[in-house]
């Protein structure tokens, strides 16, 4: 029952219910000190007096005082009275929480970078988690190998060799928390080796540029032409980041001659190629282009993740590393986060070896291919002046706008109609790009919203 | 059926079975190029000739060649023959995988730092995962707030306020990948602010010192006496790391006067106290000492994790941040790993709000308290000359050896008897510590091994 306690000139509102008397007393005293109601140095009543006021046992009050002394709220000298500790108390304006980020999902979202999250195989994933946890030894739940669980590295080695032609053994895989995290660790390794910059495609993920520069490295932009990155311009950079299977965001595959050139550059200069195979599972019109890494496993880091094939929220990816880099990455990783979540790792291993991963990727590939075809048809019909490229693979297409259609204006107009699209500009490294285009992520909307999103995009681009 | 193909002076062993003819041909060609069997520049037979040799359709060979050209293994000029690409092929010694780390768990393990992993509540965790995934919106599986899922931050704010007295709102929590990861991010923020060092307890986790120095900061060791860290020696460090509830590894609680001093230091100098509450849930002989952070939420970062309460393999922890630091941490975190695994986050939120976390911690507290009592009894009986301290809380005790018992010798002798224990020496920052002791992690062994571990420890320390 609430009661007000007035003594030593202080009113305290106390909720003293049942067995929670002591906890309630402590909470009330903490609040009073924190709020400044009881100022520094304030002398508290003796435990005997307060116990009598409150009609509780004296020990309850004495214990509460002792607890708050241990926590530093109060001070007590032997044989003297209990007081509010010095310099503790005034409400702390610096502790004010920051404002939450703006919430609210747009009605229609064609932003690139996400698969259809509504297609995440929840039941199959949970079933794999159950099987994985039933089979895992207790020790698996402890601190482990910074490379990741052996079950997952074995499963990945089999999958990547089979599906992507990667030259890989379980021993040279490091499980990461997604591509960006792998790039973070690699950037720190490059910097620790004395490197000062990374060659990066002039169109690419701004977040990746930020990751590299946060490690103290400069970015050397490498122009991209119709054959992909102009790898001859890697120069003497100690590392170069490429998206060979499907340039992000422009969408072409790196020309075979360029692949060979990049490998030759790595062999000649000792530079490291980082192959970002972010959507290698999704190729629609012919067999997937195999990983470039297999051409020179001693010089290429192969990197992938489940962010496009399953869900970015899992934060699981992998690096396949040349022997020379492996030890440095393994040494650098524990300083950041030791290793990835073990239960997720074991679940993914079970999901791959049980065939669930392949089934999911196959289903997703069919669904995205159908979306890709519908996107191409819709724009050919509604906006034939818009040139759609980069659609042989992946989850996004480039919609090149004709002269006179300004990218920013189109993006703004779309937003006014509840449709989120992104312009190419934000992906360019070097100021204003030479073309106006939208980067359309056609995998992003859930199925029920795809038709509506497409209709709005068509209407938007039809109006010139 | 395996067959050998001999043409152009090259023998290739091909497995051409059923519908896998083309895949088999490609794999064989890749292997031959990779192994050097087909050297750079080697001219391949025309697709017509090879198809005839192999008795397969010409298109099969042509498609395989095209695929390997796309992948960079072969080159083809229009109207000319197909050749092995230049500079590709020789087996790459640098690609040799590194040796796997030594495996094998010791029979008896009393190393500190781990809870009893066999007690991980697998069924309850899976049930929480099922409920969490059923309730989660699809968008939760995408890229999200670097602070972590709102469900988990709400659950943690309630739990930390209730169980640890932390002054917290969901808005100023950042979910981390364990304490070490949080310290990694904080160290980078301190460095980015221009800080050059961190004050750290002279006895502590070497891994934490490594994390701080990896961020380019120096470590200022702060001596620890019977009252905990001598916080008067923080000086003008921009940040100080403390284990107030249970000094690691020495085991005392930070004296109330020292807590107040540390807070005063932070207010006076603008320094940040990082409170590592690594085992705050486990206090045995009186009510837990509340978090120091509540004394000055504007100056103290409160940090905890599930590594002791559930399992380190989950890689989940939290930072409760003063408003002034929150934005910097939120800005720095995505450069590393964006955020923690969403499914684990949602599961932990459900586990906490459903009461499973409290139940598990209560059960674990009882079990560890019993172990703690048995350890103290066993050593009092078998080795009364060994002084056991730091046992009021946590998952480890300090066994101080009498003069004449050398720590390294005891550790080595234990290893000879299948018992892993750790000496204090490895935790000291400043050369040779002034005392000889074992840091005994009594939570580590599974229940069936605890009695045996205890018996061996007793026998080991009895023999002086």
Predicted local distance difference test score (pLDDT) of residue A27: 78
Long-range CB contacts for residues B380-388, cutoff 8 Å, separation at least 24:
B381/B458, B382/B458, B382/B459, B382/B461, B382/B462, B383/B458, B383/B461, B383/B462, B383/B464, B385/B464, B386/B461
- Whole-model pTM: value is 0.83
Question: What helix, strand, coil percent values describe chain A, rounded to 5?
Answer: 45, 15, 40
Inter-chain touch B263–A88, beta carbons under 8 Å: yes
Give SS3 for B174. Answer: strand
Inter-chain touch B267–A145, beta carbons under 8 Å: no
The alpha-carbon gap from A38 to the nearest alpha carbon of chain B, in Å, equals: 14
> Per-residue confidence at A232, pLDDT binned at 50, 70, 90?
very high
Inter-chain touch A337–B184, beta carbons under 8 Å: yes
How far apart are alpha carbons A294 and A272 in whole angstroms? 14
> Which of the 8 DSSP states describes residue A8?
T
> Per-residue confidence at A87, pLDDT binned at 50, 70, 90?
low
* Alpha-carbon dihedral B321, B325, B326, B330, rounded to 10 degrees: -120
Which is more confident, A220 or A77?
A220
How far apart are alpha carbons A374 and A70 in whole angstroms? 68
Residue A130's Cβ-count burial label (10 Å; 0-12, 13-18, 19+) is middle
Tokens describing residue A223:
């122009």
Shortest CB distance from B133 goes to which of A122, A138, A315? Answer: A122
> Per-residue confidence at B19, pLDDT binned at 50, 70, 90?
low
Residue A257: its chain B contacts at CB < 8 A? 75
Q: Where are the beta strands (DSSP E) in A185-316?
A: 197-201, 218-222, 224-225, 228-229, 239-242, 272-276, 300-305
CB < 8 Å from B in window 381-420 of A: none
Cβ contacts of B18 within 8 Å, gap of 6 or more: none
Distances (CA, A) of A272 to A198, A241, A268, B312: 10, 9, 11, 33
How far apart are alpha carbons A332 and A96 in whole angstroms? 35
Strand partners, A4: A13
Strand partners, A10: A7
Give SS3 for A10. Answer: strand
pLDDT tens string A178-217:
999 999 999 999 999 999 999 999 999 999 999 999 899 9
| B24 lies within 8 A of chain A by CB | no
Residue of chain A minimizing CA distance to B292: A71
| A67-71 mean pLDDT | 78
Which is more confident, A16 or B188?
B188
Inter-chain touch A70–B289, beta carbons under 8 Å: yes
Predicted local distance difference test score (pLDDT) of residue A433: 59
CB < 8 Å from B in window 331-360 of A: 332, 334-344
Predicted local distance difference test score (pLDDT) of residue A60: 84
Give SS3 for A225. Answer: strand
Q: Which helix (H) or strand (E) holds A443?
A: none
Residue A169: its chain B contacts at CB < 8 A? 97
How far apart are alpha carbons A389 and A460 in whole angstroms? 18
Inter-chain touch A138–B120, beta carbons under 8 Å: yes
| B265-294 mean pLDDT | 92
What mean pLDDT value characterizes chain B? 88
Cβ contacts of A409 within 8 Å, gap of 6 or more: none
Which of B73, B97, B98 has the alpha carbon at shortest distance from B83?
B73
> Per-residue confidence at B355, pLDDT binned at 50, 70, 90?
very high
Q: Where are the beta strands (DSSP E) in B332-410?
A: 387-389, 396-400
Of A328-337, A424-433, B88-97, the least confident = B88-97
| A162 lies within 8 A of chain B by CB | no
> Per-residue confidence at A98, pLDDT binned at 50, 70, 90?
very low
How far apart are alpha carbons B220 and B215 in whole angstroms? 14
Which of A401, A450, A451, A392 has the alpha carbon at shortest distance from A423?
A401
Inter-chain touch A72–B172, beta carbons under 8 Å: no
Residue A134: its chain B contacts at CB < 8 A? 122
% residues pLDDT > 90 (chain B): 69
Which is more confident, A86 or B280?
B280
Inter-chain touch B171–A140, beta carbons under 8 Å: no
How far apart are alpha carbons B460 and B464 in whole angstroms? 8
Place of tokens 């996400």: A114
| B125 lies within 8 A of chain A by CB | yes
| B404-426 mean pLDDT | 92
**pLDDT > 80? residue A88:** no
Which is more confident, A12 or B78?
B78
Inter-chain touch A342–B315, beta carbons under 8 Å: yes
CB < 8 Å from B in window 208-247 of A: 210-211, 214
Strand partners, B176: B317
| B381-393 mean pLDDT | 95
**pLDDT > 70? residue B147:** yes
| B211-233 mean pLDDT | 95
Q: What is the ipTM of this complex?
A: 0.82
> Per-residue confidence at A362, pLDDT binned at 50, 70, 90?
very high
Q: How far is CA A299 from the centre of its chain?
A: 27
Shortest CB distance from A341 goes to which of B88, B94, B314? Answer: B314
Shortest CB distance from A311 goes to which of B98, B142, B316? Answer: B142
pLDDT tens string A438-458:
999 999 999 999 999 999 999
| A401-426 mean pLDDT | 92
Strand partners, B398: B389, B439
**pLDDT > 90? residue B77:** no
| B351-361 mean pLDDT | 96
Cβ contacts of B94 within 8 Å, gap of 6 or more: A298, A299, A322, A323, A324
Predicted local distance difference test score (pLDDT) of residue B213: 95
Which is more confident, B181 or A13?
B181
Tokens describing residue A390:
């980069």
CB < 8 Å from A in window 183-212 of B: 184, 207, 210-211
């Amino acid at each position: 029952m609430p009661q007000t306690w007035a003594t030593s000139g202080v009113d305290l509102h106390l909720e003293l219910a049942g067995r929670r008397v002591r906890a309630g007393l402590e909470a009330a005293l903490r609040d009073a000190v924190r709020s400044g109601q009881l100022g520094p140095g304030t002398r508290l009543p003796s435990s005997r007096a307060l116990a009598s006021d409150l009609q509780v046992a004296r020990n309850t009050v004495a214990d509460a005082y002792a607890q708050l002394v241990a926590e530093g709220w109060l001070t007590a000298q032997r044989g003297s009275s209990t007081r509010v500790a010095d310099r503790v108390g005034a409400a702390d304006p610096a502790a004010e929480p920051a404002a939450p980020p703006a919430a609210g999902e747009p009605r229609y979202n064609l932003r690139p970078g996400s698969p259809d999250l509504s297609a995440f195989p929840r039941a199959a994933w949970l079933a794999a988690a159950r099987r994985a946890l039933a089979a895992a030894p207790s020790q698996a739940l402890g601190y482990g190998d910074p490379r990741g669980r052996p079950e997952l590295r074995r499963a990945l080695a089999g999958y990547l060799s089979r599906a992507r032609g990667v030259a890989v053994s379980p021993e040279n895989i490091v499980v990461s928390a997604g591509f960006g995290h792998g790039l973070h660790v690699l950037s720190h390794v490059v910097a620790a080796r004395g490197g000062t910059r990374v060659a990066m495609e002039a169109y690419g993920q701004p977040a990746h540029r930020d990751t590299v520069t946060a490690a103290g490295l400069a970015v050397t932009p490498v122009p991209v032409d119709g054959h992909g990155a102009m790898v001859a311009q890697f120069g003497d950079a100690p590392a170069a980041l490429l998206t060979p299977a499907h340039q992000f965001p422009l969408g072409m595959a790196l020309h075979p001659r360029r692949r060979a050139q990049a490998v030759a550059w790595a062999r000649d200069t000792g530079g490291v190629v980082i192959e970002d195979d972010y959507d290698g599972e999704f190729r629609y019109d012919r067999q997937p282009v195999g990983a470039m890494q297999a051409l020179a496993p001693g010089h290429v880091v192969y990197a992938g993740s489940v962010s496009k094939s399953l869900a970015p929220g899992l934060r699981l990816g992998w690096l396949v590393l040349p022997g020379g880099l492996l030890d440095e990455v393994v040494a650098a990783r524990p300083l950041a986060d030791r290793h990835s979540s073990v239960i997720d790792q074991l679940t993914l291993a079970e999901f791959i070896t049980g065939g669930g991963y392949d089934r999911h990727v196959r289903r997703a590939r069919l669904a995205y291919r159908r979306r890709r075809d519908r996107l191409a048809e819709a724009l050919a019909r509604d906006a034939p002046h818009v040139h759609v490229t980069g659609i042989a693979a992946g989850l996004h297409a480039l919609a090149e706008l004709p002269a006179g259609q300004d990218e920013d204006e189109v993006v703004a107009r779309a937003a006014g109609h509840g449709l989120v699209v992104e312009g190419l500009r934000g992906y360019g490294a070097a100021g204003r790009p030479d073309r106006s285009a939208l980067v359309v992520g056609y995998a992003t909307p859930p199925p029920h919203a795809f038709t509506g999103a497409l209709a709005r995009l068509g209407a938007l681009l039809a109006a010139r």
